[in-house]
Amino acid sequence: MKHFVTLYFIGLSICGFAQPDTLYTERSIVLLKNEGLLIPFKHLDSLSFEYSTPFLKNLGERYTRNIGVNKVLITDDINAKVASDANVLLLFGEVDAPPVVDMENYEAVVFSNKTDSVSKDLVVQMLFGGRSFSDTLKSNFLGFKVGSGICTQGGTRLSFGSPKEVGIDSAYLYRKIDSIAIHAIDSGVAPGIQVLVARHGRVIFHKTYGYTTYDSSEQVQKDMLYDFASLTKVTGALPALMKLHDENKFDLDATMGTYLPYFARGNKKDLTYRRVLSHNAGLQAWIPYWQTTLKKNGKYRRHTLSYDSSANFQTRLSPNLYLYNNYRDNIYKQIRKSPLKREQGYLYSGLSFYLYPEIIEKLTGQDYETYLKQNFYKPLGASTITYNPMRYYPVNQTVPTEVDTFFRMEPLRGIVHDEGAAMMKGVSSNAGLFGTTLDLAKLMQMYLWMGDYGGGHYISKNTMEKFTFCHYCNEGDRRGLGFDKPVLGDRSSGSTAIDASERSFGHSGYTGTFSWADPENGVLFIFMSNRVYPTRNNSKIYQFNVRPTMHQAIYDAIKVFEAESKH
């Protein structure tokens, strides 16, 4: 049985054999027709799904909300009008007499002998490649003979199930994470928290706690978009740079001036991107750009900020504050002239991440944000990941961050928290991305699967391993290329679980976000909060060690499951 579970996790399917997990007990789910290999769905960015019931729609939207040109109808109603390119019929429940179905109307037909919600959930997961179709008919049905059934590969996208399916003790995991989250909220760490845990590509825990603000008027919802903060570093520029590295367009050992001529002279001309991405090039940590807009008397410098919008001041920072159109050039100038440490060595710096969007645009000939969405977010089904979310979503679907009392002078909701990213019109690879927790999980799971997801090949395994490898550990620098890694030495002082493997990687965000992937154990952990509401001066998330303690609970739950299995 243990060997069979291992086969299942790597996506193999064997028709006619009993499914290895308990969700399939006494169930039969069979793919009877699959014209053109429609199932599992591919190229999610080109598809637009319609569903016959709200329940099916809710299940399907876990995988994608993209609106593509090719329409797919998923229906459990044999009387439904079918007119699109692609139609999928779902038949649920044992029947004495098979229904009359015009099979020519459907590219795919699925039969399940059960009508319960779990069966419908499993079917949708199979349609999208989260799980495999591997069952066969137990009796003749719709002209198909006993033993009929089409196999598909599962485990190519995230699936959804229970902790015990992937070797985690459910009771321990829920008890520990619930208690940590509730205690954190009661202690004022943040008004609300959202947690997602997956193992071997299966989401086994996804819960929300608390409210968006301390007035308890609005509960945190799973479909809310968070300000990723510095998670943008590994979800914005980094996937693009890895893809360009695969295409031999981005050389890690090139110097900064190779792709940015205005860095070909000066103190940064010899810095390589390998060292820069490892935070080992001597760049200063950050520059408070907003402060440079002011004179000593507190008034705005010429060509910086204005209280009114005009032809030259169109970048809105707040209702009564507008930035000069070309201020990005000033930011670049400040980065170029910034001092370096006398000696190279580890110092976390966000400066280079202001520059990568321009590099990516030069190397691809395409707008930076458009390139990311076309090559990563939409194909992954992670369409909520975006800059400037208020272009697409109502403000109440975003989680508020800080009440800004020193620069923009307004509550920040749907607007990037980071001042520098805001001055880049909200588009930077230092910060600026927003998205749902589940959509972030899709991108991180692609990383965890070394560049593959949903049948698509995004980044080579060699490049993923190179970027998630510690290149300067011998210099006391734990970082990968862009990615963070576990601390060297004593893990008790780190931001990850003590038991996270050396191969693990991820990043944290200033607003209270955290995402970590462990290829050695198949564990993905995402923690989202708005700990900076209403002020960034709240440091309780660090004082209470919330994220690493919760992260460790996952590994402890695995140990509990293994210990109980031995008995």
Three state DSSP letters for 519-564: CCCCEEEEEEECCCCCCCCCCHHHHCCHHHHHHHHHHHHHHHHHHH
If asked whether residues 548 and 458 sit together in one domain, one would say yes
| Consecutive H or E run containing 242 | helix 237-246
Same domain, 137 and 180: no
Tell me, yes or no, whether 310 lies in a domain. Answer: no
pTM score: 0.95
User: Residue 294: what pLDDT?
Assistant: 86
For residues 56 and 204, membership in a common domain is answered with no
Residues 85, 191, single domain; the answer is no
pLDDT per residue rounded down to tens, the chain (567 residues): 222 222 223 333 446 544 445 566 568 999 999 999 999 999 999 999 999 999 999 999 999 999 999 999 999 998 888 887 899 999 999 767 777 888 899 999 999 999 999 999 999 999 999 999 999 999 998 889 999 999 999 999 999 999 999 999 999 999 999 999 999 999 999 999 999 999 999 999 999 999 999 999 999 999 999 999 999 999 999 999 999 999 999 999 999 999 999 999 999 999 999 999 999 999 999 999 999 888 888 888 888 999 999 999 999 998 889 999 999 999 999 999 999 998 878 999 999 999 999 999 999 999 999 999 999 999 999 999 999 999 999 999 999 999 999 999 999 999 999 999 999 999 999 999 999 999 999 999 999 999 999 999 999 999 999 999 999 999 999 999 999 999 999 888 899 999 999 999 999 999 999 999 999 999 999 999 999 999 999 999 999 999 999 999 999 999 999 999 988
Same domain, 115 and 225: no
Of 85, 25, 99, 18, which is closest to residue 50 (Cα–Cα)?
85
Residues 78 and 201 in one domain: no
Structural domain contains residue 72: yes
pLDDT of 5 reads 26
Q: Are residues 208 and 117 in the same domain?
A: no
Q: In terms of domains, do 223 and 143 share one?
A: no
On whether both 142 and 194 belong to a single domain, the answer is: no
Do 147 and 182 belong together in one domain?
Answer: no
**Number of domains the chain contains:** 2
d(CA 81, CA 383): 29
Question: Based on the domain organization, do 217 and 111 belong to the same domain?
Answer: no
425 and 557 inside one domain: yes
| pLDDT for 25 | 59
Domain span at 273: 175-287+338-531+542-566
Q: Do 110 and 91 form a contact (C-beta atoms < 8 A)?
A: yes
Phi, psi of 108 (to 5 degrees): -140, 140
Q: For residue 541, what are the CA distances in angstroms to 189, 197, 285, 364, 485?
A: 5, 19, 22, 39, 19
Return the closest-CA partner of residue 481 out of 491, 471, 489, 473: 471
